[in-house]
Amino acid sequence: MNITLSKVGETNVLQIEGRLDTTNYGELEHHLSSLTNNDEIKILLDLDKLEYISSSGLRILLMFLKKIKAADGRFMLCGLSSDIREIFEISGFINIFEIFENQDAALK
């Protein structure tokens, strides 16, 4: 998995590439913890290049969604491929997260 961090206005954008699973979810957790510990609570995960997400990856996303919402922040996702979208639909997460087609739509 590869994570690239950039900032657009007040929003931290994390581009995730590859697989998010039990072997590497800690890397994403580290990036998100660093941001939230510094009161950066407007975050967009761009999943356009995400190939796979396991239950461990979903758990990290849910954990940070709750943490950021509790701090009155915003945690958004964009760029879900049809395979990733299907995982979100099956897990019921499709209705929990703010999901946008792409970064432009999310950052409006």
- 2-8 β-sheet, strand order: 2-8, 11-20, 42-53, 74-78, 98-100
Domain boundary assignment for the chain: 2-106
Q: What is the pLDDT of residues 40-85, one digit of tens each?
A: 999 999 999 999 999 999 999 999 999 999 999 999 999 999 999 9
pTM for the structure as a whole: 0.95
> In CATH, which superfamily holds the domain spanning 2-106?
STAS domain (3.30.750.24)
Confidence at residue 53, expressed as pLDDT on a 0 to 100 scale? 97
CA end-to-end span of the chain: 28
